[in-house]
Each structure stands twice: as C-alpha cells, then as structure tokens.
Amino acid sequence: MNKPEVVMMGLGYIGLPTAALIAQNNTHVHGVDINPKVVETINAGKIHIIEPELDLAVANAVKGGFLKAAISPKKANTYLIVVPTPFKGKNEPDISFVEAATKAVLPLLKENDLYIIESTSPVGTTEKMMGLIYSQRPELEGKLFIAYCPERVLPGNVMYELVHNDRVIGGVNQASTEKAVAFYKRFIKGELHKTNARTAEMCKLVENSSRDVQIAFANELSLICDKADINVWELIALANKHPRVNILQPGCGVGGHCIAVDPYFIVSDYPMESQIIGKAREINNYKSFWCAEKVQTAKLQFEIQHGRKPSIAIMGLAFKPNIDDLRESPAKYIAQKVLQNANNEEYFIVEPNIHEHKVFKLTPYQDAAEKGDIIVFLVAHKEFKTLKLKKDKMVLDFCGVLND
Ligand SMILES: NC(=O)c1ccc[n+]([C@@H]2O[C@H](COP(=O)([O-])OP(=O)(O)OC[C@H]3O[C@@H](n4cnc5c(N)ncnc54)[C@H](O)[C@@H]3O)[C@@H](O)[C@H]2O)c1
C-alpha cells in the first residue's frame, strides 16, 4: 500500500464503516485494532460485525488496496480515534482506551497533522488528550490540528447515515475546526456544523440525554396511568393531538449502548447540576424493575384464580424493536429477573431476531403465545403484531405492541 493518508484507531461498529467510506473515496487508510482477529478478518476482505452494505464496502476497499488493517499504527497525515468509551466503577466514563490509542499514535505525529476523536467522550477529553500529546511532544505545541467530531449513526443504516447525516465538528481552536471540516467534506454530504471541542463533546451527550429524559417522561406517565386505571397509549395519542405536544412512547426501560450510557457521562461530571438527566436514568431503570415486579404479581394472581401455576411467555429480549442487539437491554434484564423469581412455572422465552442464546432457551413466538397463560410483551417486534391471542390469556403489554 502507498503511504497511508489516514490512520483509523479502532475498527468496530463505527471505525470500520468510517474507514471503508474514506477508502471508497480513493484515500489510503491504515486501520488499527488491538484485536488480531479483527485485523486478520478485515485483511481477508471480510467483516466481523453485522451491518448492511459494509461487507461489500470493505471487500472493495481491501481489494483496491485502499484499506489495510494492522495491530499498530503508521505515519499518516490524519489520525482518527474511534475506540470504546465504556463505564468503570459506579457509572464513571472510562477514557483509558482513548488514552491508549492516543499514546500509540503520539510518537508518529508531525507538524500539520490532524488528530480527531470520534469516540463519545466526557467534556474536556479532547483538551486532555491535547495536553497529553504536547506533554510528550512539546516541540509540536500549537503545530497540530486537534478536533472532536462525534458520531450519530443508527446501527443498521450506518453506510447511508455516515454520508448523509449532519455532523458537529469542534476544534481546540479555529484553525483545527477548519482543518477537520475540510477533511470530512471530502466524504460527507450532510452539513458540517462548526463549534469548539467542548461544545461538540457535550452535544453528543446531550442528544442522547434528551432522548432519555423524554422517554423517562413517557415511562413516568405509564406508572401514573397504571395506578389511575388509564390506558397510557390512548392518553398519549390524545395529548399528542395538541399542536405543540409530542410525548414519546413508554416501554420496559431504556437500553442500547448509547442512550442508556451517555447521560452518565454528564451526571458523573456535573452531579449537582444534572438533576433531571440523573433522575431520568433512575426512572428508566426503575421501569424495568417495575415490569419484573408486575410479572411476579400476575403469576400470583393467576395461581389464586386458577389453582395452578401459570406458564409464562416472555416476548422479546432486544433493546428495541426489530433488531438482534441485546446490549444493555431492559427486556433481557426483566427476563433474567423473572427467571430468578421462578418457582416451578414453565417459561417460554422469545426473541425472533436471534436463533440461539447462551443463557436463554428460545421458543418460536407463535408457540410461546399459544402455550403461555401469561403473555408478557417487552419489545414491540413486528412479528408480535400479527399474533391473534386467545381470549383467556393474561396479557402484560409493557411496550404497547397491542395498541398500534
Ligand atoms: N456503535 C454505535 O452505534 C455508536 C454510535 C455513536 C457513537 N459511538 C461511539 O463510538 C465509539 C466506538 O464505538 P464502537 O461501537 O465502534 O465500538 P466497538 O467496540 O464496536 O469497536 C471499538 C474497536 O476498538 C478496538 N480498540 C480498543 N482499544 C484500541 C486501541 N487502543 N487501539 C486500536 N483499537 C482499539 C477494539 O478492539 C474494537 O474493535 C464509542 O465511543 C461509542 O460510544 C458508537
């Protein structure tokens, strides 16, 4: 391969599609991942994650010589950091992967290079990394371009959204912002909005916190309506007839690796100020616990009414409808909690989007709906909407699948 122009640190759900997109534009990308299996797979022109159209993009990029993977970086002009930013301890953001990736590229940096973090990061991370770089390479101080540009793609539609979504780009100074904008302009059709690094970092966290708070409002309504004997879905549909009201739908909690995670990056740094954001996390977590308790109560009611133990169908494990992703899934949490409380009842666990699971024995959704006495809807998968349930079933619909 020619000397790479771009080094991509991290070849996961975001880094690999981004690397493929850049390579598709005839730009040489040196992709780096600490996982040798990932490197081997990509260099064979294959992919290790599920994402539509990514397989072809990677195969072409590797075949055309524009994408090559390795376990360590090389000299280039632009360095993108797209590594995980998980939790540690009590919901504290862990930026050690960003730090490690930065340390790996540090010795390679030269004057006029562009360094961009895309990983979802606590406010101040880009400045912190700038401090780290300049402490080790003082001769480069003020001579690099350093920026933050968060990613907001939807898994399942990444290859389209990478190109067409608007992006927020914030440099540590004006020149860095301009340089980063010029870089992304080569690959992205969406609008590129300029700001500073701190605002761009906060923007990503706020987007997901905003969704979390709005869902918490809907979930809180569902708890109130349950006590008040009101159908929450009918209520929300009616309230949304107001021209300036738009309440989201309640569910069995909030999951996934973004909305259920990113708000903690704000709460942990601004605990006194982020009252609603913190409370929203609590409400959405509590909703899952409440659903599990409701199942427990329904079991007891059934036993009193029928003089025998019920069979229970748990419908859905994914963190949202029509996907196979169980990360941080509230439905999975509820299923686990319900099974922990099992007392010789029969359980049918359903997830139509996966074939098998290492913990749960899965049952086809039609069989579970037929055999279960209590049908617990946790995820509004499209398959469940087609079910014709017998009248004698006890139904707990936590996701409004029957109200569509
Ligand atoms: N997946 C999404 O939908 C999504 C959306 C928006 C933002 N993000 C953010 O993007 C970032 C990356 O997420 P992802 O989903 O791609 O993660 P991922 O876990 O799929 O991929 C990260 C990759 O980085 C590699 N890695 C770890 N440390 C490394 C290092 N020091 N050097 C090189 N490679 C290293 C890992 O082996 C892994 O393959 C995270 O901050 C995430 O919050 C993700």
Tens-place pLDDT, residues 18-38: 999 999 999 999 999 999 999
| β-strands 87-88, 92-93 pairing | antiparallel
pLDDT given for residue 37 in this prediction:
98
Q: How far is the CA of 126 from the centre of ligand 1 (A)?
A: 16
- At 376-399, the pLDDT tens digits run 999 999 999 999 999 999 999 999
Report the atom number in ligand 1 closest to the C-alpha of 121. Answer: 41
Nearest residue (CA) to ligand 1, atom 26: 10
Angle at 142 between CA 140 and CA 148, to 5 degrees: 105
185, pLDDT greater than 80: yes
45, pLDDT greater than 90: yes
Report the atom number in ligand 1 closest to the C-alpha of 32. Answer: 33
Task: Set out the domains of the chain in order of their start, with CATH numbers.
Answer: 6-190 (3.40.50.720), 229-403 (3.40.50.720)
pLDDT given for residue 327 in this prediction:
85
Q: How far is the CA of 8 from the centre of ligand 1 (A)?
A: 11
289, pLDDT greater than 80: yes
Residue whose entry in the numeric block shows the structure tokens 């590229």: 105
The model carries a pTM of 0.92
Phi, psi angles (nearest 5°) of residue 92: -100, 135
227, pLDDT greater than 90: yes
Identify the CA nearest to 173 among candidates 147, 143, 191, 193: 147
pLDDT given for residue 325 in this prediction:
86
**282 touches 264 (CB < 8 A):** no
84, pLDDT greater than 80: yes
Phi, psi angles (nearest 5°) of residue 67: -130, 130
Q: Which among 81, 83, 88 is the best mutation to test ligand 1's pocket, defined by most ligand atoms within 8 Å of the CB? A: 83
- At 243-261, the pLDDT tens digits run 999 999 999 999 988 999 9
Phi, psi angles (nearest 5°) of residue 200: -65, -40
Question: Pocket residues for ligand 1 (CB within 6 Å)?
Answer: 9-15, 32-35, 38, 82-85, 97, 100-101, 104, 119-120, 151, 153, 155, 258
| β-strands 114-117, 145-148 pairing | parallel
- Confidence at 6, pLDDT banded by 50, 70, 90: very high
**Residues belonging to the active site:** 204, 258
**84 touches 13 (CB < 8 A):** no
- Confidence at 1, pLDDT banded by 50, 70, 90: low
Q: How far apart, in whole angstroms, are the C-alpha atoms of residue 334 and residue 376?
A: 10
Q: Which among 33, 258, 264 is the best mutation to test ligand 1's pocket, defined by most ligand atoms within 8 Å of the CB? A: 33
Average pLDDT, integer, range 367-381? 97
